[in-house]
Amino acid sequence: MSPQGVSRNSSARSLRSLANLASTTFCFSILTGRKSEFHRACQPSSGASAEDSGKDIAAALGLRPVSVAHDAWMDSPLPEVPFLAADAYGQEVFFRGAEDRLAGTVLLSGFFGDTVWGKNPRDDDGNLTRRNNPAGGSLTEYRLAAGFLHAPMPFWGGRQNRDIARLSNSHELEPWDVPGGYSRPICRRIVEESGVPRDAFGIVKQGSSVFLLDSPTFLTDSSLADFRTWLETHPEVFGDSRLNRWLGR
């Protein structure tokens, strides 16, 4: 098994702690890589970049960390295709860079963690179909081709979100309720009781999503060239005038 560890977020740290109890042997972190217009990697709310390997936390949990450059996916041929095919956003394309580590594993991720483990989550009465974001959705097709199982653990108890919210706000968990808008008492208790210092994680919300739709070119060079070739042989998709403008004619 391989737990996901892409940031110092509370969900990711809880997964590492639980994975350690389940005899997991390694975890991997997605690091800030070469500069790219495709992503805003590891950006806290201030907009400043931050080192986010989590190696110190992995060591505290007895896990073997494996670091992957955030832009390693760009070295693969047509890397965006399976991710865009799944949800049209492709924000998890960075997992392509860890493909050799994913085959034959169970990937434990923290998608949906904010909704389940936050102190004031949206109350949807446990209806998991009314999510307000597609986080993790773009892995749906890719996991089949790469040969791994994806287990977003917060979903396992997502239907009991009201009970979990009451627990997060309970008197018993007050010692693990920290100031600010990013308090996750359940996650913090799990991680701190596994030996990780309080100030080592869950301070600010960070992320590693790739924003393909925000980039000027939308696709990497190889994918863009392939897409242009396809469009030239299928002018009916956009019509001649729109296609010519898009191709710069």
Nearest to 72 by CA among 97, 95, 48: 97
- Outline where DSSP puts E strands in the chain: 2-3, 26-31, 64-69, 106-109, 149-152
Q: Look at residue 231 in the predicted model and tell me its pLDDT.
A: 83
- Is 141's pLDDT higher than 80? yes
Q: 2-217 — its CATH code?
A: 3.40.50
Provide the Cα torsion 102, 98, 29, 188; round to 10°: -40
Q: What is the b/e burial string over 208-222, where b = at least 16 CB atoms within 10 angstroms of the residue's CB? A: bbbebeeeeebbbee
Pick from 196, 195, 156, 190: nearest CA to 173? 190
- Return the domain boundaries, the chain: 2-217, 219-249
Confidence of residue 249 (pLDDT cuts 50, 70, 90): low
Structure tokens at 209: 């999503």
What tens digit of pLDDT does each residue of 75-122 get? 999 999 999 999 988 999 999 999 998 999 999 888 888 888 888 877
Taking only the tens place, the pLDDT of each residue in 29-46 is 665 444 444 444 334 344
Q: In this structure, are residues 187 and 17 in contact, taking their beta carbons and an 8 Å threshold? A: no
pLDDT mean over 176-202? 90
pTM of the prediction?
0.77
Which whole number is the average pLDDT over 165-193? Answer: 93
Distance CA 27, CA 14 (A): 12
Which residues, in sequence order, are bridge partners of residue 4? 28
